[in-house]
Structure 1
């Protein structure tokens, strides 16, 4: 006798509207703030007489810390509930932004903007929120609900990036970070709406697998390895573009406003792209959705580099790339839930995201390092194209059927 990878909460689920409202607002704040960090590259490096690699390295550390910490944030959220993780990481977020504002050396920037904010993002973004959705949303609405949450993060980028640009222009880059640190604390009251039944006490939930068993099962499954390798490419592409696009445009003589509008357009169009892939994931093969996204990104970058650079070409590139931006997130996490179930969804989503963030680390760091060495971003653009083609090919052999497990005694 066997059981599928699906599992259901033993307690009545939270209302779906409540999860989506609170989760969407949390992701809007958390992702909205971090999407605008590229706007600080030039003012911070000029004010402190740093190189672009100094700032890029701190951002690379942030992405790596986010990915690594996400595994453990996911474990804690799966075991003790999302609420406690969200509150603790919101406090870390505020502290990290405040520390970033007053970092006087590249090392301090790597500790505050890098490690503290990276750890904070691990517990205030998709892996933890998707765990709540997976445990509480009906299976027939799970992928759609994940798409709504991803769209909220995209709307956060659209909303927050111009606000951050305005704060830098009016209050200065340092005070702008102080204001954002206070905004991050709004996550604390919003987390209250994600307090799940069964997690309020001190005893963890009982589950059919231990953490070690769930990890061995995932890493022994070839499709999981293919999925997270593709996710590595996603991180490389989007974080390189998100952090270095403003400076790339400034190098060609465009105003800071063009960069701000570019990032905002990415966020706006990703609202539609994320929602669409989440909805399509209920009806279509998720691996084909992912393969299409990676292939399309490479083609869009090729066209962007071939056509004459102008505000119009920048805005069109941003809109189309925005449609493909976080649209990988709902099908990737829904696929993990579909194959492995929801008991360890936050943790396994965190493992997948760690691969994403290793790619992010390399994308943002190589962008700064190779620019300082060559005076150009060309090599990293070419790498982004090649990796996109590779990711499209890697997603095609993925098997999407749920794992059948023997019936067993529940493990804590």
Structure 2
């Protein structure tokens, strides 16, 4: 990559970091709305988590088609429209007075984050980065996905503690508006030349990828990532409130997760440049399961919660640079948005299970014991499968790119 190209890539990488930081940060803090919204609107926990589940279903269903559109016609229009959808979603959520308006808002968030979150932001990053530095740069940009949580969580909880929950919604509308110019700048990556490949349909690209055992395992084990993270995001505030802890503790925990995850993503990007990504992913799922087990077996206190948050922070979104880098290693970047979208469908199935399933278990039993045990069990299985059947990792020079989608 020449000096001129590096200079052109820097604004793209900064804007992608800002866009993803806001998109993922707001989404990861939605669980803080659960206690005040359910009380103010007379909703149950399962009502709220059903809306979160709809968000994750929509996000998963539209990710691959939107990725295919971005691969064919450019990232910029998709990301800008997604940022606008995010603004509309936050405005509708702020005005909600019942479960179905909340569901509509969450569905729009699903569309918005599919356009501005990790899959397209990582695709833009991978295309702007040189292959020899791609994993490290993916880790750096991925680290910014937690900066939003680090800043937004305590600010939101302060608003929720002092005023009506709708003021928190107003904050989210303003943050979503800031995503629009960031999306426009990130879209400049469409001008970066990409390797050419034989023309093929989107179905051909996906069919080629699904014949690759490593990709199939990667997609299948991505389920546990969505399940564990969304369970914590959505239900940790309610769990701590149930245990009589200060509401600010859950916001502090989410902020710590976001802050420590900066180091976790940087470490994942660094290690992914040097070691087998499938092994690193499997170890991440196993380590998360160990941390969850220890935390839920102990009585929740401020000290154990902060330690839990710090440990989870190191393991939180480091999967983003690892998964994105592995897909780029196997298939190149030409159809990366499409293929990340395919893997994300399975991720979102896990997210739905973690959010809505956790809410139903809580409503049925009045506690989260069964929910966390299921999350731990699935995490152990996924970690072992990813290590044993998901490798070995391949380098870009060994990869046989999937056919280009136009």
* TM-score calculated relative to the size of structure 1: 0.92
Counterpart CA distance in 2 for 1:166 and 1:91 is 26
Residue 40 of structure 1, CA deviation? 0.4
Where does 1:211-230 land on structure 2 (aligned, <5 Å)?
211-230=202-221
Q: Structure 1 411/356 Cα, relative in aligned 2: closer, same or farther at 3 Å?
A: closer
SS at match of 2:275: coil
Residue pair 2:67, 2:338 contacting (<8 A) in 1 also = yes
Counterpart CA distance in 1 for 2:309 and 2:401 is 44
Residue pair 1:20, 1:148 contacting (<8 A) in 2 also = no
Among residues 9, 14, 19, which one is paired with 2:12 in the alignment?
19
Which residue of 1 is the match for residue 119 of structure 2? 127
Q: Which stretch has the larger CA shift, 183-192 or 263-272?
A: 183-192
Where does 1:97-112 land on structure 2 (aligned, <5 Å)?
97-112=90-105
Which residue of 1 is the match for residue 342 of structure 2? 351
Where does 1:218-257 land on structure 2 (aligned, <5 Å)?
218-257=209-248
Where does 1:4-43 land on structure 2 (aligned, <5 Å)?
15-43=8-36
Q: Which stretch has the larger CA shift, 241-250 or 205-214?
A: 205-214
Which residue of 2 is the match for residue 4 of structure 1? none
Q: Does 1:398 align with 2:394?
A: no
Q: Does 1:179 align with 2:175?
A: no
Residue 199 of structure 1, CA deviation? 5.5
Residue pair 1:13, 1:197 contacting (<8 A) in 2 also = no
Which residue of 1 is the match for residue 333 of structure 2? 342
RMSD: 2.1
SS at match of 1:161: helix
Counterpart CA distance in 2 for 1:405 and 1:118 is 29
Q: Which runs of 4+ in 1 moved over 4 A?
A: 11-14, 197-200, 204-207
Residue 44 of structure 1, CA deviation? 0.6
Q: Structure 1 30/197 Cα, relative in aligned 2: closer, same or farther at 3 Å?
A: closer
Residue ranges of structure 1 left out of the alignment (5+ in a row): 1-7
Residue 19 of structure 1, CA deviation? 2.2
Residue 205 of structure 1, CA deviation? 10
Counterpart CA distance in 2 for 1:198 and 1:189 is 16
SS at match of 1:15: helix
Counterpart CA distance in 2 for 1:264 and 1:169 is 16
Counterpart CA distance in 2 for 1:207 and 1:176 is 47
Counterpart CA distance in 1 for 2:236 and 2:371 is 12
Where does 1:41-56 land on structure 2 (aligned, <5 Å)?
41-56=34-49
* TM-score calculated relative to the size of structure 2: 0.93
Which residue of 2 is the match for residue 5 of structure 1? none
Residue 335 of structure 1, CA deviation? 0.4
SS at match of 1:123: helix
Q: Does 1:380 align with 2:367?
A: no
Structure with higher helix content: 2
Number of equivalences: 397
Q: Structure 1 198/33 Cα, relative in aligned 2: closer, same or farther at 3 Å?
A: closer
Q: Which stretch has the larger CA shift, 268-277 or 171-180?
A: 171-180
Residue 207 of structure 1, CA deviation? 4.5
Counterpart CA distance in 1 for 2:281 and 2:362 is 30
SS at match of 1:283: coil
Among residues 301, 319, 327, which one is paired with 2:310 in the alignment?
319
Residue 194 of structure 1, CA deviation? 2.0
Residue pair 1:93, 1:120 contacting (<8 A) in 2 also = yes
Residue 175 of structure 1, CA deviation? 2.5
Where does 1:179-198 land on structure 2 (aligned, <5 Å)?
179-196=171-188
Residue ranges of structure 2 left out of the alignment (5+ in a row): none
Which residue of 2 is the match for residue 159 of structure 1? 151
Residue 395 of structure 1, CA deviation? 0.8
Which residue of 2 is the match for residue 170 of structure 1? 162
Residue pair 1:81, 1:199 contacting (<8 A) in 2 also = no
Residue 240 of structure 1, CA deviation? 0.3
Among residues 129, 134, 147, which one is paired with 2:139 in the alignment?
147
Counterpart CA distance in 1 for 2:400 and 2:29 is 43
Residue 206 of structure 1, CA deviation? 6.6
Q: Structure 1 405/178 Cα, relative in aligned 2: closer, same or farther at 3 Å?
A: closer
Counterpart CA distance in 2 for 1:308 and 1:248 is 11
Which residue of 2 is the match for residue 267 of structure 1? 258
Q: Give CA-to-partner distance per residue, 1:244-273, whole Å, 9 cap, x none.
A: 000000000001111110111111111110
Residue 386 of structure 1, CA deviation? 0.4
Counterpart CA distance in 2 for 1:39 and 1:381 is 19
Q: Give CA-to-partner distance per residue, 1:380-409, whole Å, 9 cap, x none.
A: 100111011111111122232344369x9x
SS at match of 1:196: helix
Counterpart CA distance in 2 for 1:169 and 1:256 is 8
